[in-house]
Structure 1
Amino acid sequence: MPKPTKGPRLGGGPAHERLMLANLAAALFTHKSIKTTETRAKRLRPLAERMVQFAKRGDLHARRRVLATITDKTVVHELFTVIAPQVNEREGGYTRITKLGFRKGDNASMVQMELVLEPVTPKVKRSKVATVAATPVGSDAVVAEDVVAEDVVVEDVVAEDVVADEVVADAPVEETK
């Protein structure tokens, strides 16, 4: 018998947990944001992320895989036609969990779980040439061409190391007893 790796179930057996997570996922895709306990949200996150990945694929097999978990066809249709195009550029991290505080009755940690539908802003890659070109004009590294810029910087660093070695060689040596 395989050993369970996920820890205790949420409020019942595995079938109850599967149904509860499917209903939470359906509510998340319908309302774009739900308020639930932190434990449930942490268990829901991988399921919701996987469903969005299937929706991004968009083929019939992916739709049937999602329908095996979420049985409401209107929710699956909205996931594939509305949500998937909005997160098409995003490579992951389709959900966001924000802590809200504690529930009054049983002091359970409550969170707001929402879909991240904002457009992705791509990160700007910084190259070595751009950083060398951005050096101050008064510095020793005068660059004539972009290709030569890397060689000039390396030569300056080597020259500084040589000067530092000479200073150390000229310093008086103290003897220890």
Structure 2
Amino acid sequence: MRHGKKLNHLGRTNSHRKAMMSNMATSLILHKRITTTLAKAKALRGYVEPILTKSKNDTTHSRRTVFSYLQDKDATNILFREIAEKIANRPGGYTRIIKMENRLGDNAEMAMIELVDYNTVYGTDVAKTEKKSTRRRGGAAKTKTAETAPVAAEAVKAEPVAEAPAVETPEAPAANEENAEKGE
């Protein structure tokens, strides 16, 4: 019986699947982002996240354990030197899966899996531009009318004030006399 066993076999034998996951994990560590099918990306996430967690503790035992999964010295060194520093404060969730268009040949669901801390596409600069575009789309008519109406009213008020000193100068003492009569 296979109760509780949720491993996706991906239509491969055990040895083939382990070799493929090892190669994909190595590519992910070296290139920080790879494109593959959605099923493989989900399987890779379950394979590579424990390896990334293991890399936070830089001991000989953890290096040997990670090397047994990756079978690549360069990837292991990069993992423990560069990636472990960036993910040191992150409690989990080191990878992100982004769905892409289906593949043309066989219409397979494609996805891009990337390391979250090495994100260059969805950075803070993109988030700032999204906020600006949201402001423009969401309340463009409300914002412009609300902002331009007070500015226009201030501009109208500002123009008579500029001309007013010559005209209002005689009225200013009258206003002062009215205030004096009221006792203010």
Same fold? TM cut 0.5: yes
Deviation at 1:11, TM superposition (A): 3.2
Q: Please, what TM-score do these two structures have when normalized by structure 1?
A: 0.63
1:14 matched to 2:14? The reply is yes
Deviation at 1:118, TM superposition (A): 5.9
Partner of 1:43: 43
**C-alpha separation in 1, matches of 2:34 and 2:47:** 15
The number of residue pairs the alignment matches comes to 118
Q: Secondary structure at the match of 1:61?
A: helix
Is the helix fraction higher in 1 or 2? Answer: 2
**C-alpha separation in 2, matches of 1:65 and 1:11:** 27
Question: For residues 1-177 of structure 1, what are the structure 2 equivalents within 5 Å?
Answer: 3=2, 5-6=5-6, 9-117=9-117
Stretches of 4+ aligned residues off by more than 4 angstroms: none
Alpha carbon RMSD of aligned pairs, Å?
Answer: 1.7
**C-alpha separation in 2, matches of 1:97 and 1:22:** 18
Q: What per-residue deviation string (whole Å, max 9, x for no partner) do you get for residues 68-96 of structure 1?
A: 11111010000000000011110000000
Change (3 A) 1:34 1:118: closer
Deviation at 1:101, TM superposition (A): 1.4
Larger Rg: 2
Change (3 A) 1:118 1:20: closer
Where does the alignment leave 5 or more consecutive residues of structure 1 unmatched?
Answer: 120-177
Q: What per-residue deviation string (whole Å, max 9, x for no partner) do you get for residues 20-55 of structure 1?
A: 011000000000000000000000101111111111
Where does the alignment leave 5 or more consecutive residues of structure 2 unmatched?
Answer: 120-184
